[in-house]
Structures are given as C-alpha cells and as structure tokens.
Amino acid sequence: MARVVELVNGGERTAAKTLAAAWACAALLAGCSGGADPVAPAAPSGPCGTADAPVADGTACETGRVCVSGACAIALPGSPCTPASSCHQGTLADDGITCVDSGTNQPDGVVCGTDQVCTAGICVRCVEGEICMTGAPCQYQSRMSCSTGAICVVGDFFPNGAYCAPGRVCRDGQCVP
C-alpha cells in the first residue's frame, strides 16, 4: 500500500492517510463514510486563505495537496488544480503532484492575484470602481467592473455640442462632424 510522502526541508513526512485509502474512498463516491468528500482534508493551512476569504478550490498549497473549502487537502488524481497559467483550469495527474493544464479558460472574473482577474484566459489588472477610459471621446466617468472580467463600464456622456476632436462635436454620445 503506497503512502503519500512529502519532502519537507530535505527530510520526509508521511501523510496521515494512504493514497490507496483515498482512492478507495473516491471509488465509493456515494458512500465515503457519511457522504464525506473523497479528498481527505488536512489541518487548515495559511496558503488556503481564511474562513472568510478562502482561495479557489484546486489551488496548490503544498506538494501533492490542493485547497478545498479553505483547507489544504490531499488531492486525488483527476481533482481540480491550478496550473501554471492561473486563468486556465487543470486536473491533477496520476502522480498526485503534477497539475495538467486542460487549456480551458477559468470563467471571466475569477481572481488570479491582488487587483487582478481572469479575462479571456489571461490574468489582467482590475480594480473595482477605478476610473477608466472607454476610448470614446464623448464619454466620461466610466468605471471598472471586475465581477465578469475586466470591463470598463460606460459612465456619462458629454452634452450634445461639446468639442471632441477638430471639426467634431459630441451628439448622443458619439463624436460626429
């Protein structure tokens, strides 16, 4: 029966549960002792955030472990994980350590860093409510929205007749001759 072993500061630490027991539990999915999750939770760990602000499930927290509901847990092959590109989805390989990038984008708006969210599979800067420019010369007071990706939401329009470019004025939010 193989044991999950982690290298810690040059030494080794054996996990409390064996990988074989975890696989057996996963195989019984319908009845892991009272409907328990097939991922065996370990003691809460700092890399998985706090109870009020847990990091995304599947984020690597230690060798062979991922965050599950705010706790650092032993991961089973096929479990979700966060690959090198944090805006892609991944699954844990058979070795229980390697996260394989599926090539599928995380949903837009998933937090990927401080003041960053996923947008079309790329981690981009986004600060909710920050003033932004839409690129339209007749708009102002536009603000960033991050919940569904980095989007500059149109604010107000300059009044009709306002100057917007040489020989052009604003009319109903458009810069026209």
Give 127-140 pLDDT, tens digit per residue: 999 998 888 889 88
Task: Give a yes or no: residue 113 inside a domain.
Answer: no
Give yes or no for residue 34 having a pLDDT over 90: no
Give the number of domains in the chain.
2
Identify the domain boundary among 72, 105, 138: 105
Task: Give a yes or no: residue 115 inside a domain.
Answer: no
Residue 104's pLDDT is 93
Distance, CA of 166 to CA of 141 (rounded, Å) = 22
Identify the domain boundary among 52, 71, 105: 105
What mean pLDDT value characterizes the chain?
74
- Going from the C-alpha of 156 to that of each of 18, 43, 139, 174, 176, the distances in angstroms are 60, 50, 6, 12, 17
Task: Give a yes or no: residue 110 inside a domain.
Answer: no
Say if residues 156 and 139 touch (Cβ distance below 8 Å). Answer: yes
Give 89-112 pLDDT, tens digit per residue: 998 888 777 889 999 999 999 999
Distance, CA of 140 to CA of 153 (rounded, Å) = 10
Distance, CA of 17 to CA of 40 (rounded, Å) = 8
Task: Give a yes or no: residue 119 inside a domain.
Answer: no
Q: Are residues 136 and 66 both part of a single domain?
A: no
Say if residues 62 and 72 touch (Cβ distance below 8 Å). Answer: yes
Identify the domain boundary among 105, 139, 159: 105
Q: Are residues 152 and 86 both part of a single domain?
A: no
3-state secondary structure of 130: coil
**113-144 exposure pattern, b = at least 16 Cβ within 10 A, e = fewer:** eeebbbbeebbbebeeeeebeeebbbbeebeb
Task: Give a yes or no: residue 129 inside a domain.
Answer: yes
Q: Are residues 135 and 163 both part of a single domain?
A: yes
Q: Are residues 11 and 97 both part of a single domain?
A: yes
Distance, CA of 38 to CA of 99 (rounded, Å) = 18
Q: Are residues 82 and 164 both part of a single domain?
A: no
| Residues constituting the chain | 177
Q: Are residues 83 and 37 both part of a single domain?
A: yes
Give yes or no for residue 13 having a pLDDT over 50: no
The answer to whether the predicted template modeling score (pTM) of the entire model surpasses 0.85 is no
Q: Are residues 15 and 49 both part of a single domain?
A: yes
Q: Are residues 72 and 134 both part of a single domain?
A: no
3-state secondary structure of 73: strand
Q: Are residues 64 and 146 both part of a single domain?
A: no
**153-168 exposure pattern, b = at least 16 Cβ within 10 A, e = fewer:** eeeebbeeeeebeeee
Q: Are residues 99 and 152 both part of a single domain?
A: no
Q: 138 lies in which domain range?
A: 125-176
Q: Are residues 135 and 81 both part of a single domain?
A: no
